[in-house]
Amino acid sequence: MKVKAYPSNEDNKKIIFKIEIENEDNISPSSKYSLNKKEFYFKLPEGVLFEQIHPDHLALVSLLACHPFIGKRIIFPKKVSKKFFDAHKIVTKYIIDEFDENLVPWIPPSESRVALAYSGGADSTAALALLPKNTVSIFLDRPLPLLKRTLYDKDAPVNACKKLIQNGYEVLMVESNIEYVRNPVGFPVDVANSAPAILMASQMQFDAISFGTIIEAAYRVGHKEFSDYITRAHFKHWGSLFNAAGLPFLQVVAGISEVGTAIINSKSKIGIFAHSCMRGKWMKPCKNCWKCFRKLLLDSVINKKPLSETSINKLFKIKEAKINLSKFPIRHENVLAYSTAKYIELYNLVPNDENLMSLLSKRVRGDIISVNWMEKYYPPMFNLFPEKYKKHVKEKLEKYLLPMSEEEESIISNWSLKKMLNDSYYKNLNDIFIERLSKH
Ligand SMILES: [Zn+2]
């Protein structure tokens, strides 16, 4: 695969990337997605010049867009540094064609700052609350298709950006159609949401890139089995490449559960601007999607405001929620164990098999597993950090959350759903729950 990059002739803020396929490339690497658009762009702020973007940064963005589709080799827009070339050796699937031995890797000056891949959602808003105030939040503004109907609505994140700016934060919105490289639309690699930050890094002087990656995603808690993020292929591969490009990961919420980010947002000044729903309007979530189901339930227990019986009934009627709740296991089901257990406890619900809340709680083991650890942070997360930011983030974090005890840490490292998934009691409970849900 060959990737070319150049500034647009018509729009001086636009940088265009063009993908050229070679025989060995794999345009459908999975039944779930395939390569779609072979051209993508970024509309960068005034003053960011194409010529000043470091070749390693052009290469990193090319990889973020193309990685799943590369067959044997990739040729970048410009030759990369030896440091970047070497960091890529961990990948065996394909090679980087060549490097420039005279190219100095990008080394950020000491007064550089953090760029946050900001989505406007709960997790990246909590991340911003933990980062230095001079962090630049960068929202990747996906253009909406002109002809096709979409449920995605930008009203809420756009307003969140404006509110942050009014509150003294530096926020940039960068239009890019990088998500259209893939069909269905989405990031070809999860950290591709940081592509605008990477392109601006040398001119805006960034020395780390932060994401809203929470413990459920980083350490696979709530999934089938715990996996130490520091040893996972994602961190080793992408973490090393970002590092070689002078932009190490700063995963400030990697040791924090979705429950923890909700607590941070309930306490921080900017938490109120967070929104999870991709479909509703500013301060008006759609209340009809899976994210709304999880968020409304979680916020109800965090903010100690019970939902009315009608609201609960409506929640369990959400079509998308029914589909997701019928899965075994349910995605991030530890969070549902927390929400349902706390809901029953706080509002004195009588646990019985007649109400869906109790049934769901039993299904996700909210009645038996400990859930209070989700209100705390996992201290090994600091092992992932660049030294420069450890102290600052820890001090800020401890204003909101306590560290987990050793015993609680072992709940994380021993997390596994395997036994439950093979247990006939839970299989049966799952059938009963699905049956009840379908009739609701
Ligand atoms: Zn929604």
In the prediction, which pLDDT does 147 show?
59
Give me the pLDDT at residue 149, please.
64
Q: What is the pLDDT of residue 280?
A: 83
CA distance 356 to 293: 13
Q: Indicate the pTM of the whole model.
A: 0.95
**Helices of type H across 135-194:** 155-166
DSSP element (H, E) containing 6:
strand 2-7
Given a contact cutoff of 8 angstroms between Cβ atoms, the answer to whether 401 and 261 are in contact is no
Q: What is the pLDDT of residue 88?
A: 94
Q: How far is the CA of 276 from the centre of ligand 1 (A)?
A: 7
Output the average pLDDT for the chain. 95
Report the candidate in 6, 16, 176, 4 with the shortest Cα–Cα distance to residue 74. 4
Residue 109 pLDDT: 96
- pLDDT at residue 115 tops 90: yes
Q: Is 146 left (phi over 0), alpha (psi -120 to 50) or beta?
A: alpha
| DSSP state for residue 185 in the 8-state scheme | S
- State the burial class of residue 361 (Cβ atoms within 10 Å of its Cβ: 0-12, 13-18, 19+): buried
Gap from CA of 279 to ligand 1 centroid (Å): 6
| CA of 39 relative to ligand 1 center, distance in Å | 31
164 CB-contact burial (10 Å; exposed 0-12 / middle 13-18 / buried 19+) = buried
Query: Does 175 have pLDDT greater than 70?
Result: yes
Note the pLDDT tens digit of each residue in 22-52: 999 999 999 999 999 999 999 999 989 999 9
Distance 287 CA to ligand 1 centre (A): 5
Q: What is the residue extent of each domain of the chain?
A: 2-250, 286-371+415-439
Q: Per-residue pLDDT for 353 more than 80?
A: no
Q: For position 260, what pLDDT does the model report?
A: 98
CA 338 to centroid of ligand 1, rounded, Å: 20
Distances in Å between the Cα of 270 and the Cα atoms of 167, 335, 337 are 8, 23, 27
End-to-end Cα distance, the chain: 51
C-alpha 119/C-alpha 99 separation (Å) is: 34
Cα 342 to ligand 1 centroid, rounded to whole Å: 22
User: Under a CB-based contact definition with an 8 Å cutoff, are residues 14 and 87 in contact?
Assistant: no
Expressed in angstroms and rounded, the spacing between residue 292 Cα and the centre of ligand 1 is 4
Return d(Cα 272, Cα 283) in angstroms, integer: 9
Instruction: Tell me what pLDDT residue 220 has.
Output: 96
Which pLDDT tens digit goes with each residue over 101-114?
Answer: 999 999 999 999 99
pLDDT recorded at residue 151: 67
In the reported structure, the alpha carbon of residue 270 is separated from the centroid of ligand 1 by a whole-number distance in angstroms of 20
pLDDT at 235: 94
Three-class HEC string of 83-123: HHHHHHHHCCCCEECCECCCCCCCCCCCCCEEEEECCCCHH
What pLDDT band is residue 278 in, cutting at 50, 70 and 90? confident
Expressed in angstroms and rounded, the spacing between residue 290 Cα and the centre of ligand 1 is 7
User: H-helix or E-strand containing 243?
Assistant: helix 240-244
* % of the chain exceeding 70 in pLDDT: 98
Q: How far is the CA of 195 from the centre of ligand 1 (A)?
A: 26
Residue 340's pLDDT is: 96
Q: Give CA–CA dist 146/391, Å, rounded.
A: 47
Scan for tokens 């064609």, then name that residue. Answer: 97
| 316 C-alpha to ligand 1 centroid (Å) | 13
Nearest to 22 by CA among 35, 31, 11: 35
Name beta bridge partners: 116.
137, 210
Compute the average pLDDT of residues 254-279: 95
Q: What is the Cα–Cα distance from 194 to 197, expressed in whole angstroms?
A: 5
pLDDT per residue as tens digits for the range 205-220: 999 999 999 999 999 9
The confidence score (pLDDT) of residue 12 equals 87
| Residue located via tokens 């509110």 | 163
Check pLDDT > 70 for residue 355.
yes
pLDDT in tens, 391-433: 999 999 999 999 999 999 999 999 999 999 999 999 999 999 9
Question: Do you know the residue count of the chain?
Answer: 440
The yes-or-no verdict on residue 21 having pLDDT over 90 is: yes
| pLDDT band of 348, cuts 50, 70, 90 | confident
| CA–centroid distance, residue 275 to ligand 1 (Å) | 9
Rounded mean pLDDT of 339-368?
Answer: 90
User: What distance in angstroms lies between residue 150's CA and the mean position of ligand 1's atoms?
Assistant: 14
Tokens for 366, please give them: 């909210």
pLDDT tens sequence across 45-103? 998 999 999 999 999 999 999 999 999 999 999 999 999 999 999 888 999 989 999 99
The average pLDDT across 121-134 equals: 97
> What is residue 180's predicted lDDT score, i.e. its pLDDT?
95
- On whether the CB atoms of residues 104 and 54 are closer than 8 A, the answer is no
In angstroms, what is the span from residue 285 Cα to ligand 1's centroid? 5
| Residues near 428 by beta carbon (within 8 Å), at least 6 away in sequence | none
> The dihedral of CA 291, 302, 361, 377: what is its sign?
positive
Would you put residue 233 in left (φ > 0), alpha (ψ -120 to 50) or beta? alpha
Tell me the CA–centroid distance for residue 327 and ligand 1, in Å.
19
Q: How many CB atoms lie within 10 A of CB 52?
A: 11
8 Å CB contact between 65 and 192? yes
pLDDT in tens, 290-336: 999 999 999 999 999 999 999 999 999 999 999 999 999 999 999 99
Which residues make beta-bridge pairs with 16?
A: 6, 41
CA 291–ligand 1 middle distance (angstroms) = 6
193 vs 138: CA distance, rounded Å:
9
135, 114 contact by CB (below 8 A)? yes
Instruction: Answer yes or no: are the C-beta atoms of 88 and 79 closer than 8 Å.
Output: no
Could you tell me the pLDDT band of residue 146, with boundaries at 50, 70 and 90?
Answer: low
How far is the centre of ligand 1, averaged over its atoms, from the C-alpha of 34 (Å)?
A: 27
Confidence of residue 277 (pLDDT cuts 50, 70, 90): confident
